[in-house]
Structure 1
């Protein structure tokens, strides 16, 4: 029995009591049902949502991500009001928003932006929780790619951390030795390779698509970007086409690579003495050239919820407050600039200052519900290009043609 059914029964009981001459009481306020993936950070933030309203008002169901996505998809596709608030990552948010399942938050965001200091979220974060020009989710935690580098090796070589892709390549060449790769490269299909390509396409190229979703990653700038990626592989560890986050993390920890692009969530592992041989020797800056991947998770309100949407928005805003996120920083990187700039947190987590800068220069994947399907096409051809199987221009042209065919079949073009 859903909370809606419970309240309907309660209302019937109240009416019966009144008709029988009993004393009428106010009907119970409607419960708010939250469905979320289970992990420590989400347990914390859903607990903050429960604390924002009186006891018993908010129910939370935590489950594995695949089950949660299946439940949310089935419930919302049937336009049921059985779910009020749902956890979504940046990829699933685009799909749910495109399907018309989510409540736009723009008006509430504008109304409460001063009270909850919502301008504290950088533009890159707002972009990642938006679709088609509308905000659909309250950002709760973020993950961004950082540039990891061996500060001791850079100091010995007398070079500064790179700020451009050209400086990055020069440093990789200078620090590359037979026993230590100049840089990690994570090119395992699909996710890892897509993340790496996303950086090059944004830092050197013009991005993935034009305003009408026509591919532009195969234009002159895109060819230059993937050509540089191909050239950079000469400084990567052997087997880089099968390396993802785990392999690249180990290469950095074991001193087998001097630098490279890696997720914020891997930073703490560099200073773990039980796993790392380079404790205190890794440092971080924002990725050279900008444009590295930025991913944000948050909570959205169902379009079909019959609960008070303004009340739910305020509940989400309370959970995402500065105070809440300062405490939540122990579980995940908060997307608020004020928290990332907190000096005490920066002392505790050495990589936070770099993360703050990376948030301002990072870019989310294109706001396209089908981008991961595009990624399967693009990474296949990019890998052929960087390994020399196919010329870069020919590989990207073929990827663009197949991408257009896919998007045309899904009605992206008028």
Structure 2
């Protein structure tokens, strides 16, 4: 069954899966073990960090959790892996890096652990499409700790006030952004998106790239960023942010972007579905109940369902770990339904990977305002929204430089992408 077919099954979520039973052996065979874990700064991580004392109480395993920004984690992991430091037992990252990690021998398959510890791993509870992305050549390499798609978020109150229809194309996004900025006399920016160089700006621009009919890599394995479609998408992305976006947007990462929108200072944003949890959290947001959600638009007629992404971030047991069974137990515990449900009360976390958690009363109560749009985006999400090849990190970095040049106005989209295209072909040929 294809990934998108599997994703479609997530609409019929089931809450019947049994909770994993951790540390039922009173002997606690791994008591006294200390794990070094590296994770991204994210609401999911906040929840896990707060619940760590429960894991230690149940297993006797201590966890030293190091948290770094998503934009820094890949470079840090590659440095540690290549140096052979053996510093971490468990690391987290986007599934786009799995092929490279597997080929280089940085992470271990998990199938034997899943078989040895069946009570601690409920395969049937994971959203199928999320788990499926962690399988390489028939082997399971990661457990999905959070998943998300992307959607367009817009201020329903402003759209109604100014007579704007929710956009279905990027031309309509630009028109809506222009209207909001002009009719608010510049008090509200038309749109905000991530502009910071690297994974931040590429993550969001990728929706525009696919939405214009472009792609990162062609079917023959060559870089496709030199195409007319890619140039048109980056021209449009750059124009809308320069003309209708906030001051300093070229430095906006995920946090700056969602904060500006939830403060009521932007008419639209395009970002991860997890952002909906922040929009609807009255403790941090001034736009609760005022936001509409739709899948990312598409300019190309070929993409009727929009151009939303499918992103999955997983936990991996490193090959260098000297305590792999304990590392597996932590990974299984951190991704289990019971921890995911508990996380709702700790941090805004709608990016759960458990079907039971996603179908719980608590999830529906907190995130019902955008759940339908989130599931629609996930069901049609593109798992290739970022390149899933060994050279993914280089490709993303090169593309990020091109996006930054266009936002800064120092190069045209065509010239900036031509340079990135050449660099990416070199990376793919290695």
Question: 1:392 matched to which residue of 2?
Answer: 413
Q: For 1:12-50, what per-residue CA distance to the aligned partner results, in whole angstroms no more than 9, with x for missing partners?
A: xxxxxxxxxxxxxxx994666532137532325656665
Q: For 1:134-167, what per-residue CA distance to the aligned partner results, in whole angstroms no more than 9, with x for missing partners?
A: 5311112235444221011223345443344344
Question: 1:205 matched to which residue of 2?
Answer: 213
The question of 1:355 aligning with 2:374 is answered yes
Kept after mapping to 2: 8 A contact 1:328/1:334: no
Find the aligned partners of 1:308 and 1:173 in 2 and give their Cα distance. 54
Find the aligned partners of 1:312 and 1:245 in 2 and give their Cα distance. 29
The change in CA–CA distance for 1:366 and 1:200 in structure 2 (over 3 A counts) is same
Question: 1:126 matched to which residue of 2?
Answer: 132
Question: 2:292 matched to which residue of 1?
Answer: 283
- Which of 185, 195, 202 matches 2:193? 185
Question: 1:34 matched to which residue of 2?
Answer: 35
Give 1:220 deviation, angstroms.
3.2
Find the aligned partners of 1:75 and 1:377 in 2 and give their Cα distance. 22
Question: 1:17 matched to which residue of 2?
Answer: none
Give 1:208 deviation, angstroms.
0.9
Q: CA RMSD in A?
A: 4.2
> What secondary structure sits across from 2:63 in the alignment?
strand
Give 1:400 deviation, angstroms.
0.2
> What secondary structure sits across from 1:149 in the alignment?
strand
Q: For 1:330-373, what per-residue CA distance to the aligned partner results, in whole angstroms no more than 9, with x for missing partners?
A: 44331234432434322223444433333332545322454333
- Mind listing any 5+ residue stretches in structure 2 that lack a counterpart? 1-26, 40-44, 299-305
Kept after mapping to 1: 8 A contact 2:149/2:310: yes
Q: For 1:304-327, what per-residue CA distance to the aligned partner results, in whole angstroms no more than 9, with x for missing partners?
A: 667686x97577445533333222
Question: 2:393 matched to which residue of 1?
Answer: 372
Question: 1:262 matched to which residue of 2?
Answer: 271
The change in CA–CA distance for 1:314 and 1:74 in structure 2 (over 3 A counts) is closer
- Which of 316, 321, 341 matches 2:336? 321
Question: 1:63 matched to which residue of 2?
Answer: 66
Find the aligned partners of 1:224 and 1:75 in 2 and give their Cα distance. 38
Give 1:93 deviation, angstroms.
5.0
The change in CA–CA distance for 1:117 and 1:406 in structure 2 (over 3 A counts) is closer
The question of 1:249 aligning with 2:258 is answered yes
Greater Rg over alpha carbons, structure = 1
Question: 1:89 matched to which residue of 2?
Answer: 93
- TM-score by length of structure 2 reads 0.70
Find the aligned partners of 1:64 and 1:280 in 2 and give their Cα distance. 32
Find the aligned partners of 2:339 and 2:284 in 1 and give their Cα distance. 31
Question: 1:344 matched to which residue of 2?
Answer: 362
